[in-house]
Amino acid sequence: MPRKMLAAISICALLAGCHNSATIWSTEARSFDGLWIAVARRDQYGGPGNAGLQTTVLLKRTAGDTRPIEVLLLDESQGPTDLKINWLTPSHLEVTYKQPVSIDFQAIKCAGIDISVRDLSEGTKSTQAH
């Protein structure tokens, strides 16, 4: 019985240790009024069954509760996109990308901030959500 338990614990520890991720690119943009920072971060994951690229866009207040709020999640398994974040107004964040990508999560409004996502890849029409 102890051998089976030891084997089960070893397998769980091995699998838990295989979730490697590293941020390989990031950028940020401060809103015109200085109240918000938009952060885009591309993480590369490795390990059995979970290798891939994922880009997250987050909003963070510059004062008070500064915990980041996820507003966009892109699966970039087909390769990285040319993603840009840009404040159009103090309450409107625009995210653009130039390569086909799968959007796993998209908020269109967060804490009074409108969020637009535009696909600028060739052969597609721009779409805007807000």
24-51 confidence digits (pLDDT tens): 999 999 999 999 999 999 999 887 777 8
Q: Tell me if 86 is assigned to some domain.
A: yes
Q: Tell me if 28 is assigned to some domain.
A: yes
Domain, as residue range, for 95: 20-119
Alpha helices of 1-130 — where are they, by DSSP H? 2-16
Nearest to 38 by CA among 116, 126, 101: 116
Q: Note the pTM of the prediction, 2 decimals.
A: 0.78
Q: Tell me if 31 is assigned to some domain.
A: yes
Dihedral of alpha carbons 111, 61, 31, 34, sign: positive
Give the whole-angstrom CA distance, residue 38 versus residue 88. Answer: 12
Residue 17: φ, ψ to 5°: -80, -5
Q: Tell me if 25 is assigned to some domain.
A: yes
In whole angstroms, what separates CA 102 from the centre of its chain?
A: 12
Task: Give the per-residue pLDDT at 107.
Answer: 98
Q: Tell me if 1 is assigned to some domain.
A: no
What is the per-residue pLDDT across 84-100, written as a single tens digit (0 to 9) for each?
A: 999 999 999 999 999 88
- When divided into structural domains, the chain yields a total of 1
